[in-house]
Amino acid sequence: MTDPFQQFAVWFAQAQAAELNDPGACALATVEEGADGIPQPDVRIVLMRSFDARGFVFHTNYLSEKGQQIGGIPRAAMAFHWKSLRKQVRLGGPVERISAAESDAYFARRPRANQISAWASLQSQPLPARADYEARLGEMEARFPGEVPRPENWGGFRLVPHWIEYWEDREGRQHHRMRWDFTGNDWVSGLLYP
């Protein structure tokens, strides 16, 4: 392979064929400055919705915890683990918002219920009772009887990797690890001890 994105495309195609649910599911780690001034890591599972040589795209409410963390410190890491394939991919680097046009195009393809939820959910904010959220869902259904536009506070982020590591499980803990690093011009690769 001449670059790490070709390798990801091969492994992701294998994951799409082998994984029953959400082969694009990955752990996303962000960081925020803690009250004591010490950076605090945070991690959750998100769905990577697309990738190309520019990076890996996921979508969220920009006012969510992860959205605010990325707004404050625009760097993150991802980890994909496909247990059935015995493979893992880790990557990290800066994060940027995708264009409004890209976010609009993706939002338009989402199921209507997901679109309504994007309007109704105050993602990551305290919810006094489930009935409050369900009432907001009803309000948004009434507000948007036809096409649902993308909320301005919702859209995509692209993690632009500066490094990517490929890990394959091998017997006797003799795993195969290859790391790619971006030099600013090219990707260079090398092996890592298991």
Tell me the pTM.
Answer: 0.94
Cα-only R_g, the chain: 19
- Written as one string, the DSSP assignment of the chain is --SHHHHHHHHHHHHHHH-SS-TTEEEEEEEEE-TTSSEEEEEEEEE--EEETTEEEEEEETTSHHHHHHHHS-EEEEEEEEGGGTEEEEEEEEEEEPPHHHHHHHHHHS-HHHHHHHHH--TTS--S-HHHHHHHHHHHHHH-SS--PPPTTEEEEEE--SEEEEEE--GGG--EEEEEEE-SS-EEEEEE--
Let me know if 173 is a catalytic residue: yes
Q: Which of 49, 90, 173, 179 is catalytic?
A: 173
Distance between CA atoms of residues 89 and 180, nearest Å: 11
Q: Per-residue pLDDT tens, the chain, 194 aa: give them.
A: 779 999 999 999 999 999 989 999 999 999 999 889 899 999 999 999 999 999 999 999 999 999 999 999 999 999 999 999 999 999 999 999 999 999 999 999 999 999 999 999 999 999 999 999 999 999 999 999 999 999 999 999 999 999 999 999 999 999 999 999 999 999 999 999 99
Q: Quick: pLDDT tens for 109-157.
A: 999 999 999 999 999 999 999 999 999 999 999 999 999 999 999 999 9
Number of domains in the chain: 1
| Both structure tokens of 162 | 């500066």
- d(Cα 149, Cα 152) in Å, to the nearest integer? 9
Name the residue range of residue 185's domain: 4-16+24-192
- Domain CATH code at residue 155: 2.30.110.10
Q: 133 burial class (0-12, 13-18, 19+ CB within 10 angstroms)?
A: middle
